[in-house]
Copies of this chain bind each other. A is one copy, B any other.
């Protein structure tokens, strides 16, 4: 299920960037910014600007923004609210529309289809479906009653779908989405998905947003066909949170640390890919299909899905005082 061809398994552009930095490779066409906020939240941006850079990073040209917040899965409503607001701000900047209202108190007037990718019945893969469960859906109301239903304020046409995974539907996600987009004509699509990270410290603590859509092999459920403007028909923004680490990855990490600590000079010449292969060989095939997750993953998915749907609600409909979620 994991893509064999992809050297180091990560869905985070930030982690690919870190790898380059660590190996002291500088790649032309990749730019990187980082901003630390008062509450400990770190927002970093990776820009992949050329085809060469795209090849080196193993992912499409575009903008990748990462929000890292150590306490994202703790129970703290105020803190969650801060992250939801940050998420809303970043999302508005990324939207493929000409000018966007910056004041979060006001809503937008776009038409968007939000897609909850992943498998509702596999806990670490259920993030996308759960986010869609908590969205404030408006398209059918506006279609029937117009903006009057919302006191004439600006309010986006929000629709949502949980397409399911191929084993459940027999269809590629892209087939379903292309059909639905043609019929319902949103301005753009936002996908939400659970990701695989490289580092256990990012599990449940990082949100990645990108304007490039979903690339093959991404997501823990390995959605094989790209979801992007070309395949779906309208621009695709992807939002994801790492919820698992491939079991082979943590073994490889441990060995890297070990080799360095032991000063095993010959082995230090192995590059990361070779070490990962070594890890697979040593333990294979036992590690196939195994993932590392936090024990409290059921709770984390619940918290994260509230937080993200709140961010999406604020970005699209504005920050109304009254809480909308439970």
Residues of A whose CB lies within 8 Å of any CB of B are 1, 75-78, 121-123, 132-133, 137-141, 157-164, 166-172, 175-176, 178-184, 199-201, 203, 220, 247, 250-251, 253-255, 257-258, 261-262, 264, 267, 278-279, 282-283, 286-287, 289-299, 302-303, 306, 322-324, 326
Across the interface, which residues of B come within 8 angstroms of A323, CB to CB?
77
For A139, the closest partner residue in chain B by CB is B170
Across the interface, which residues of B come within 8 angstroms of A168, CB to CB?
132-133, 137, 160
For A160, the closest partner residue in chain B by CB is B169
For A200, the closest partner residue in chain B by CB is B286
| Distance between A96 CB and nearest chain B CB, rounded to angstroms | 20
With contacts A77-B322, A255-B258 known, what are 17 further pairs, Cβ within 8 A? A77-B323, A78-B322, A122-B296, A137-B168, A140-B170, A171-B180, A175-B183, A176-B180, A179-B180, A179-B182, A179-B184, A201-B286, A203-B290, A250-B250, A250-B251, A250-B290, A303-B326
| 4 tightest A-B CB contacts, nearest first | A179-B179, A139-B170, A159-B170, A179-B183
Across the interface, which residues of B come within 8 angstroms of A162, CB to CB?
162, 164
Interchain CA distance A181-B183 in the complex, whole Å? 11
Contact B178 A169 (CB under 8 A): no
Across the interface, which residues of B come within 8 angstroms of A179, CB to CB?
176, 178-184
For A176, the closest partner residue in chain B by CB is B180
Contact A139 B295 (CB under 8 A): no
Q: Kindly identify which residue among B253, B267, B306 contacts A326, using a CB–CB cutoff of 8 Å.
A: B306
Contact A75 B326 (CB under 8 A): yes
Copies of this chain assembled into the complex = 4
Interchain CA distance A291-B200 in the complex, whole Å? 11
Contact B159 A169 (CB under 8 A): yes
Across the interface, which residues of B come within 8 angstroms of A138, CB to CB?
170
Interchain CA distance A322-B297 in the complex, whole Å? 23
| Distance between A219 CB and nearest chain B CB, rounded to angstroms | 12
Q: Kindly identify which residue among B181, B203, B294, B326 contacts A77, using a CB–CB cutoff of 8 Å.
A: B326
Contact B183 A167 (CB under 8 A): no
| Distance between A53 CB and nearest chain B CB, rounded to angstroms | 30
Q: Kindly identify which residue among B172, B178, B290 contacts A292, using a CB–CB cutoff of 8 Å.
A: B290
Interchain CA distance A25-B158 in the complex, whole Å? 49
* Given A171-B161, A282-B261: A122 touches B176 (CB 8 Å cut-off): no
